[in-house]
Amino acid sequence: MKAQAPTAYGLSSQARNLHWLLTNLVDEVPGIRSVAVVSSDGLLLLSSDPGLAAAAFQAGEPGGPTGPRGSSADLATIVSGLGSLTTGAAQLMDGGTVKQTMVAMEEGSLFVMSISDGSLLGVHAAPDCDMSVIAYHMALFVGRAGHVLTPELRSELRKSMESAQ
């Protein structure tokens, strides 16, 4: 599935870089269905936009819906909620910082990884995915994206997502 991010025209070089990293993650890693980057307050910053894939399927285009039902906002909500839940659990258990959460389902997997600024990277993957490959590429994304997600860039990405909807 090709990532369908909002247009990168008019964005800063750092925002275009993050769009490129997300597109590369989705296009190059087998088994990834959709990706969302969510701010620490639960707002969608970047997405592979599974809503567009579902619309393409309904229009008869090849590829079909490969993301979760609904829109990219749904994945962002799930990622944010799961991040909050696991952070709370770690605090209750004196477990320290949550680095990654993985949910294995009958028809897929969901991975959530913390980014240094409190944002989260969420990946919805196929049931036959290689979990270690996905976790590795997520860690690469987090390492590359974490140091550039400044408050200014988060604001720019939010505005970009809002204008695309």
Whole-number Å distance between alpha carbons of 132 and 10: 36
User: CA 144, CA 121: separation in Å to the nearest integer?
Assistant: 12
pLDDT values of the chain reduced to their tens digit, one per residue, 165 residues: 444 444 455 788 999 999 999 999 999 999 999 999 999 888 899 998 744 433 333 333 334 344 444 457 789 999 999 999 999 999 999 999 999 999 999 999 999 999 977 899 999 999 999 999 999 999 999 999 888 888 889 889 888 887 766
Domain count, the chain: 1
Q: For residue 122, is it within any domain?
A: yes
Q: Would 5 be classed as within a structural domain? A: no
Residue 3 lies in a domain: no
Q: Which domain holds residue 138?
A: 13-164
CATH code for position 27:
3.30.450.30
Does the residue 59 lie in any domain?
yes
In a domain, 6, yes or no: no
7 within a domain of the structure (yes/no) = no
In a domain, 131, yes or no: yes
Q: Do the domain assignments include residue 2?
A: no
pTM to 2 decimals? 0.81
C-alpha distances (whole Å) from 147 to each of 22, 48, 76 are 15, 21, 21
